[in-house]
């Protein structure tokens, strides 16, 4: 494999936004390391599938070590894996808390720490988080404190890491979506969810993919929380 060919790691890569990101980066001639619990091996030699729970440090270790062993470098990490559970605050269980923080925060920490180490050796890289506009635009229609707690933490970490690594060749950004039309949302909920956005529709997977790709090529942009939310963060 040519060491000059760029390599992206994408978490939560088996379907929805993650699956679309894998295809988008391959279309840009990146090698891709795709990871999720249910990821299947790919016939594409440019895709390395690594199955595992992103909250488990052993998964992060395997993803990063296999990426370096197979492709020799890591240029981009997209932290796409996440859990969203909308419940009234007092209805959350201890299990909800452990699961949501495990994937949304522990998963981010374990893989990003390892990837950042490799990027520092190279003197270059790009890290992107997928968060949620609910951090900035709480809604009584979608009570979701644990999403705000975890994804809000990722927004803050994005800015902190962007400054820490600004002079070291590593950019760090986030995409903050509204409600995106993915398999997570049953069709019978689409009309209600569309109404949460000033533009009157849900977002499409391609909207998030295009935002990530914009940030990928935006060499003067770091520490940015890019809202792709149909106007939600602007107001009602």
Say which residue, 173 or 2, is predicted with more confidence. Answer: 173
Whole-angstrom Cα distance, residue 88 to residue 74?
A: 40
Mean pLDDT score across all residues of the chain? 95
Whole-angstrom Cα distance, residue 29 to residue 23?
A: 10
Q: Which two tokens stand for residue 188?
A: 């019978």
Our measurement of the distance from residue 209's CA atom to the centroid of its chain's CA atoms, rounded to an integer in Å, reads: 10
**What percent of the chain has pLDDT above 70?**
99
How many CB atoms are located within 10 Å of the residue 114 CB? Answer: 21
Please give the pLDDT value at position 2. 44
| Residue 124 reports pLDDT greater than 90 | yes
pLDDT tens for each residue of 176-195? 999 999 878 889 999 999 99
**pLDDT class of 166 with cuts at 50, 70, 90:** very high
Q: What is the mean pLDDT of residues 117-132?
A: 98
Cα distance from N-terminal residue to C-terminal residue, the chain: 51
Per-residue b or e along 24-40, where b marks 16 or more CB atoms closer than 10 Å to that residue's CB: bbbeeebbbbbbbeebe
Which is it for strands 47-51 and 125-130: parallel, antiparallel or unpaired?
unpaired
By the 8 A CB rule, do 62 and 39 touch? no
Lowest mean pLDDT among 7-11, 22-26, 77-81, 179-183: 179-183
Please give the pLDDT value at position 83. 93
| Residue 153 reports pLDDT greater than 70 | yes
Q: What is the mean pLDDT of residues 216-227?
A: 98
User: Per the CATH hierarchy, to which homologous superfamily does domain 7-225 belong?
Assistant: NAD(P)-binding Rossmann-like Domain (3.40.50.720)
pLDDT tens for each residue of 53-96? 999 999 999 999 999 999 999 999 999 999 999 999 999 999 99
Q: What is the mean pLDDT of residues 206-212?
A: 98
| Residue 201 reports pLDDT greater than 70 | yes
| Residue 162 reports pLDDT greater than 60 | yes
**What percent of the chain has pLDDT above 90?**
92
- Reduced to 3 states (helix: H, G, I; strand: E, B; else coil), residue 79 is strand
| Residue 1 reports pLDDT greater than 90 | no
């Amino acid at each position: 494999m040519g060491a000059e060919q760029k390599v992206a790691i994408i978490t939560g890569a088996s379907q929805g936004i993650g699956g679309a990101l894998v295809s988008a980066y391959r279309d840009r001639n990146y090698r891709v390391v795709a990871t999720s619990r249910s990821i299947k091996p790919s016939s594409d030699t440019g895709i390395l599938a690594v199955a595992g729970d992103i909250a488990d440090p052993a998964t992060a270790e395997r993803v990063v070590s296999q990426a370096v062993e197979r492709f020799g470098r890591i240029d981009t990490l997209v932290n796409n894996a996440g859990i969203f559970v909308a419940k009234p605050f007092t209805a959350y269980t201890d299990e909800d808390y452990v699961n949501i923080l495990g994937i949304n925060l522990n998963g981010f920490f374990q893989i990003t720490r390892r990837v950042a180490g490799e990027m520092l050796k190279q003197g270059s890289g790009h890290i992107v988080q997928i968060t949620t506009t609910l951090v900035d635009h709480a809604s009584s229609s979608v009570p979701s404190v644990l999403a705000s707690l975890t994804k809000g933490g990722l927004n803050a970490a994005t800015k902190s890491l962007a400054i820490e690594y600004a002079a070291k060749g590593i950019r760090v950004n986030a995409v903050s979506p509204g409600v995106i039309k993915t398999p997570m949302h049953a069709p019978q909920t689409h009309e209600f969810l569309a109404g949460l956005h000033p533009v009157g529709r849900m977002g499409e997977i391609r909207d998030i993919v295009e935002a990530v790709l914009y940030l990928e090529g935006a060499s003067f942009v770091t520490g940015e929380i890019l809202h792709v939310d149909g106007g939600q963060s602007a107001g009602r």
